[in-house]
Structure 1
Amino acid sequence: MQIKKLPIEFVTARPILQTIEKAGYEAYFVGGSVRDTILQDNIHDVDIATSAYPSEIKALFPKTIDTGIKHGTVMILSGQNKYEVTTFRTESGYQDFRRPDKVTFVRSLAEDLKRRDFTVNALALKEDGTVVDLFNGLQDLKDHILRAVGKPEERFHEDALRMMRAIRFASKLDFTIEAATEAAIKHHAELLEKIAVERILVEFNKMMMGQKPVKGIRYFLETGLYAFCPQLNEQLPKLKRLLKIREDTHLKNENQVWLLMCRVLTISSNQSHHFLKAWKTSNELISAVSNGLDLFEAMDQNAVSEQILFQTGKTVIKDVLTVANVLPNAGNSDQLLDRYEALPIKNSHELKINGGILLKAHITTPGPQLGKLLAILLNKVLTGKIENKQPDLLLEAKKIVSED
């Protein structure tokens, strides 16, 4: 197979391959960018594999960075572009089920490709667009099949994260995992415990944001991988609710992923902090999900106030509405965005009064009462009981203090 029209990313990188080949070595585009080009999807990172050793690559190009020199990777700087070029290699000894204990540089493309995870990712592309397919990856692409290269048990022992990558690709590409590959995932699911939570989190998020998340979720549950993820071991009955989300679900960000997870697991705003910490998520995500769950709980009780809408903010309100749209019985979500847009202020900094003004006017003194007074004034503005004007707010503040 030859690709007649290469994506611009490959066209721009062709001089790199040509320079390497002119020096007598082999060089190919490899990995997901080749797969996605054949599938006519957008490509992202352009990875290059070569028979040239790192020292030989560095001798060919004036500007390089040793990004992963021990594993054979050199970054070539070409104008505004950066390309990671990795020497063909074999790997052995995976005591941590993630990284090889030994890397050996080789001159053989076949030796390099056979260590890769799935046949659809083991394709190589020459600079002229010719596809090198040593493991029937093109047929698997055509059939929408995800199949491990060689023996799946060996691939997953080499890198247990590949099991999560399998279900991620099933969701992302809408592929079916081949029977022997799926059986090996079931058999080795417990190896996932050997993998850092942060790495599992990345794959889980990508799976949930794929084009067919229900397919990925089904594999996640049926293979038993869920049991070796933080806080999920005893949650199978609730996790099965994920299979009932809309088939056309398309989550756009991590906030939506974890709002959905907390909803199906009936995790409250207060409980979400512990749950998300176990998954090693960011503090920003924890805060956003907590606010979103507060809004969901108010929706459940048909008691969404202006204060909750203000606290939640437009971005998270949109995330909540997206999740509500894929779940049955999500609560009353009508006009939430309209109500938010109608708020007199959207940010506490827009309040025409602050602690400094109140202190300067000698209305109150520093301490807890100052924060309490500002909160009362903010709520009165949000509910339309007073206009957001400094003279009005000062008068109201004096009134509140005198009544205490």
Structure 2
Amino acid sequence: MIIPSFFQQALPVLSKLEDSGYEAYFVGGAVRDLFLSRSIHDVDIATSATPLEVKAIFTHTVDVGIDHGTILVLHKGTGFEVTTFRTESAYSDFRRPDHVEFVRSLYDDLKRRDFTMNAMAMDKEGQWIDPFNGKEDIQNGLIRTVGLASERFSEDALRMLRAARFVSQLSFRLEEQTKTAMQQQAQLLEHIAVERKLAELDKLLEGSNKKQALTSLIETGLYRFLPGLADRKTALEHFASLQVDTLTKEQCWIVLSWLCVKEEVKPFLKGWRFPQKRIQHVERSVKTIGQLQASGADDWLFFQAGREAAVDATAAVACLENRDPDLEQAADRWNALPIKHRQELAISGGDLLQWTNRSRGPWIKEILQQAEQAVVRKDVLNTRHDIERWLRECNLL
């Protein structure tokens, strides 16, 4: 087998480990994605060398996770994570092993991994090591745990959300015993930090088969242990029934927020530990959905929403109404606005004071907004002279 160019960059690292008397292999997601002909962004290397032995072999290293056996080896400006073969103890927090033990056996290292498709290795000659039939499961489109699913999920409960995420990303289906274990152990997600749950759900919502993945969350009961969703099965089922596969991640969160909470977007997303900027965008977009459904699209609405929220809300409304969105038209409407921000208005509060000789007060903001709205709706040109004349004609000065 010919090693793809991306792996070629890491071959000198494997060769140097082998030349020093140790075993070394490509492992994990990169090997899986190579078999699936998917794009690969990084490669992981597993070796029989201990972290200290790895550090003795290579000149430039970083201790990114030495306690768990991982050393970053720097080679020609690129970093490669090299991790020692290991076995793991009990997982008292249902997320991380209490301690790890370094071993010299590749088989022992692979059997601790989550799913068979992620428990394959490849040597520098392109030969596959597949003790748990990961290739066969990939060919059959199955997500199956290595060994007993109940043991894998009790070790790391986040693996259940990873399984649902792979349904979306790979368009695979859950193997029956794996699915049953998820149903039986869903409550273990209570032990997982919200930030980790958000990261997995974000990846799920970036996949191409969101509908089936969302259905998996419902059928396994995992949704009951996700922030704000425990008592919203009906809304989640509605969400999963829509044509969500073409939506972006943010558009999915907008539709989900609309279906679940509408007026209470902020506390819902805070429960998910969303950063403030994301909350503001989803909240603005959900508000725009209501306005679009009530009165349709117009320039003033798009101006108030901003380009991103206007386009995302347009996509959300189309999804809710089960029709194809015209996002190009929405973007063109926003791009055609005479002004895009309040700062672009040709007059200021100082102009109003000069024209009226009145004292400062809330009237300034009110008149500026009326002028802004008139410019956006093309009732008046955005020049100082034209706006002054319009204001006087409307008896606003």
Whether TM-score is above 0.5 comes out as yes
Alignment partners' CA distance in 1, 2:384 and 2:319: 43
Matches within 5 A, 1:6-45: 6-45=3-42
Which of the numbers 226, 247, 251 marks the counterpart of 1:251? 247
> Any idea what SS the aligned residue of 1:139 has?
helix
Alignment partners' CA distance in 1, 2:55 and 2:352: 65
Alignment partners' CA distance in 2, 1:203 and 1:60: 36
> Any idea what SS the aligned residue of 2:10 has?
helix
**How far does the alpha carbon of each residue in 1:53-111 deviate from its partner, in whole angstroms, 9 at most, with x for none?**
11111111111111111111111111221111111111112111111111111111111
Matches within 5 A, 1:2-401: 4-246=1-243, 249-252=245-248, 254-265=249-260, 267-268=261-262, 270-328=263-321, 335-355=329-349, 368-394=362-388
User: Structure 1 residues 136 and 370, CA, compared in 2 at 3 Å: closer, same or farther?
Assistant: same
Structure 1 unmatched ranges of 5 or more: none
TM-score scaled by length of structure 2: 0.92
Distance apart, 1:360 and its partner CA: 7.7
Distance apart, 1:352 and its partner CA: 2.5
Distance apart, 1:386 and its partner CA: 2.1
User: Structure 1 residues 311 and 172, CA, compared in 2 at 3 Å: closer, same or farther?
Assistant: same
Query: How many residues end up aligned between the 2 structures?
Result: 396
> Any idea what SS the aligned residue of 1:18 has?
helix
- Do the aligned partners of 2:315 and 2:325 also contact (CA within 8 Å) in 1? no
- Do the aligned partners of 1:354 and 1:374 also contact (CA within 8 Å) in 2? yes
Q: Which amino acid aligns with 1:382?
A: V
Alignment partners' CA distance in 2, 1:307 and 1:179: 52
State which drifts further: 281-290 or 170-179: 281-290
> Any idea what SS the aligned residue of 1:301 has?
helix
Alignment partners' CA distance in 2, 1:96 and 1:399: 71
User: Structure 1 residues 357 and 106, CA, compared in 2 at 3 Å: closer, same or farther?
Assistant: farther
User: Structure 1 residues 62 and 263, CA, compared in 2 at 3 Å: closer, same or farther?
Assistant: same
- Do the aligned partners of 1:363 and 1:398 also contact (CA within 8 Å) in 2? no
**How far does the alpha carbon of each residue in 1:322-341 deviate from its partner, in whole angstroms, 9 at most, with x for none?**
33343335799795444323
Distance apart, 1:369 and its partner CA: 4.3
Q: Which amino acid aligns with 1:258?
A: W
Identical-pair percentage: 41
Alignment partners' CA distance in 2, 1:382 and 1:111: 66
- Do the aligned partners of 1:171 and 1:210 also contact (CA within 8 Å) in 2? yes
State which drifts further: 23-32 or 359-368: 359-368
- Do the aligned partners of 2:318 and 2:325 also contact (CA within 8 Å) in 1? no
Q: Which amino acid aligns with 2:9?
A: T
> Any idea what SS the aligned residue of 2:208 has?
coil
State which drifts further: 133-142 or 374-383: 374-383
Q: Which amino acid aligns with 2:153?
A: F
**How far does the alpha carbon of each residue in 1:172-205 deviate from its partner, in whole angstroms, 9 at most, with x for none?**
1111111111111000000111101111111112
* Cα RMSD for the two superposed structures: 2.4
Alignment partners' CA distance in 1, 2:325 and 2:3: 49
- Do the aligned partners of 1:299 and 1:333 also contact (CA within 8 Å) in 2? no
- Do the aligned partners of 2:314 and 2:325 also contact (CA within 8 Å) in 1? no
Alignment partners' CA distance in 1, 2:359 and 2:56: 70
Alignment partners' CA distance in 1, 2:90 and 2:354: 70
Alignment partners' CA distance in 2, 1:184 and 1:384: 61
Alignment partners' CA distance in 2, 1:109 and 1:330: 51
Alignment partners' CA distance in 2, 1:144 and 1:303: 43
Q: Which amino acid aligns with 1:392?
A: D
Distance apart, 1:316 and its partner CA: 2.7
Q: Which amino acid aligns with 1:306?
A: D
TM-score scaled by length of structure 1: 0.91
- Do the aligned partners of 1:273 and 1:286 also contact (CA within 8 Å) in 2? yes
Structure 2 unmatched ranges of 5 or more: none
> Any idea what SS the aligned residue of 2:198 has?
helix
- Do the aligned partners of 2:289 and 2:314 also contact (CA within 8 Å) in 1? no
- Do the aligned partners of 2:141 and 2:173 also contact (CA within 8 Å) in 1? yes
